[in-house]
Chain A
Amino acid sequence: DGGITQSPKYLFRKEGQNVTLSCEQNLNHDAMYWYRQDPGQGLRLIYYSQIVNDFQKGDIAEGYSVSREKKESFPLTVTSAQKNPTAFYLCASSIRTGALNTEAFFGQGTRLTVV
């Protein structure tokens, strides 16, 4: 079945460590996005990519990094520079690099906890 797969579902990180969240899609979508969700807040954009080997910072990119080496993959690394990384992370994709006037498909999310 087509869709977006995020892994792992739950992730624990020790302070000072980098961790990488996986996002894979088999929808042949050009655009991919990473959002962060905190309690009482909506989703906030971390990074997005419109095409392979290109990506742009969103509203809260500090402490995060991404890569887009393949069309189907858009991993997010949470670095030790991210002061408060505990959150729910959602990956999404949309069919083309134009407006999000087509449906954005979301993965099932990764819950990251700093221990």
Chain B
Amino acid sequence: AQTVTQSQPEMSVQEAETVTLSCTYDTSESDYYLFWYKQPPSRQMILVIRQEAYKQQNATENRFSVNFQKAAKSFSLKISDSQLGDAAMYFCAYAPNFGNEKLTFGTGTRLTIIP
């Protein structure tokens, strides 16, 4: 069974600074997808960024980027120029490419932005 581990229950960062959230996963598959979701206080889950395992290039979405290390099974999220609106729970998630396509989530990292 696939597992997703987020070892940082809480993180904080000064506004305008950069922060990196860690995620590791375990799978025997070679083809899969990885995601970072954001859950603000409204509790609405919002997709932040997505990475296809077959792509070597790290995904980037504006201030959000990932460091995908397939051999190490590591998938960290870097938030640059942190803003107050970035404060939220962040969940790392894994989904296989074929077959039983269910998202497996990590336990989340609560990110606090310090003004």
Could you list which residues of chain A lie within 8 angstroms of chain B, going by C-beta atoms?
31, 33, 35, 40-45, 48, 56, 58, 88, 90, 92, 97-101, 103-104, 106, 108-109
- The answer to whether B95 and A100 have CB atoms under 8 Å apart is yes
Q: What total of chain B residues lie within 8 Å of the partner, measured CB to CB? A: 27
Q: Which residues of B contact A56 (CB under 8 A)?
A: 100
- The answer to whether B103 and A43 have CB atoms under 8 Å apart is yes
Q: Which residues of B contact A33 (CB under 8 A)?
A: 102-103
In whole angstroms, how far apart are the Cα atoms of A44 and B33 in the complex? Answer: 18
Q: Which residues of B contact A104 (CB under 8 A)?
A: 47, 103
Could you list which residues of chain B lie within 8 angstroms of chain A, going by C-beta atoms?
4, 6, 9, 33, 42-47, 50, 52, 91, 93, 95-98, 100-108
- The answer to whether B101 and A43 have CB atoms under 8 Å apart is no
